[in-house]
Amino acid sequence: MTQLVATPTTDATSRTGYRRTAALLVGGAVAVNLAFLGLGAVFDYPAVLYKPPADVLATFHANQWVISGWFLVLALGAGLLAPIAVRVGRLGGSAALRASVPVGIAAAAVQVIGLLRWPLLVPGLAARAADPGTAARLRRNADLPGRRRSLRSTTHQSI
């Protein structure tokens, strides 16, 4: 008589686990694409990163809440890389899949930190730039020879 031994399944390798992993992948892609569409429509993102900082800050200040909201959605989508990496890493036993977990978590952390600058730090900068006295000083400093002329080069942000 043959004895059947049940193989334990984890959530990640069960049918429900596959569905949850797929839902995270789709949810992340949808969030990031919606955020890019929203930011492109209201903030001309990512082309805005090539404009002079004073112009970027003025545009941001005029639409601060909407732009900050879209950056939060973008950060949420990027943050989903961490649970996606963990779940995908559990789908198999290969060394490559296990190694992808910390890489995915690190990628999520770096992206979230970089994107959260917009709703957390830029509003204060934009408010100061909107002040006439501060704005004049910013323009004088930006016009000094050798200074970087875009937020993209200053923040090293890329897509």
- Tens of pLDDT along 32-54? 999 999 999 999 999 999 999 98
Residue 58 domain boundaries = 15-142
Report yes or no on 1 lying in a domain: no
Task: Assess contact for 149 and 52: CB atoms under 8 A.
Answer: yes
HEC sequence for 61-96: HHCHHHHHHHHHHHHHHHHCHHHHHHHHHCCCCCHH
User: In angstroms, how far apart are the furthest CA atoms of the chain?
Assistant: 89
Report yes or no on 153 lying in a domain: no
The yes-or-no verdict on residue 144 having pLDDT over 60 is: no
Report yes or no on 86 lying in a domain: yes
Report yes or no on 9 lying in a domain: no
Tokens of 107: 């990628």
Q: Is 120 helix (H, G, I), strand (E, B) or coil?
A: helix
Tokens of 140: 């004088």
Report yes or no on 69 lying in a domain: yes
Domain count, the chain: 1
pLDDT the model gives residue 158: 46
The yes-or-no verdict on residue 147 having pLDDT over 80 is: no
Report yes or no on 57 lying in a domain: yes
How much is the mean pLDDT over the chain?
A: 85
Task: Assess contact for 63 and 130: CB atoms under 8 A.
Answer: no
Task: Assess contact for 35 and 71: CB atoms under 8 A.
Answer: yes
State the sign of the Cα–Cα–Cα–Cα dihedral 15, 17, 23, 26. Answer: negative
Bond from prior residue into 145 cis (ω within 30 degrees of 0): no
pTM of the predicted protein model: 0.78
Residue 146 Ramachandran class (φ > 0 left, ψ -120 to 50 alpha, else beta): left
Report yes or no on 116 lying in a domain: yes
The yes-or-no verdict on residue 5 having pLDDT over 50 is: no
Report yes or no on 155 lying in a domain: no
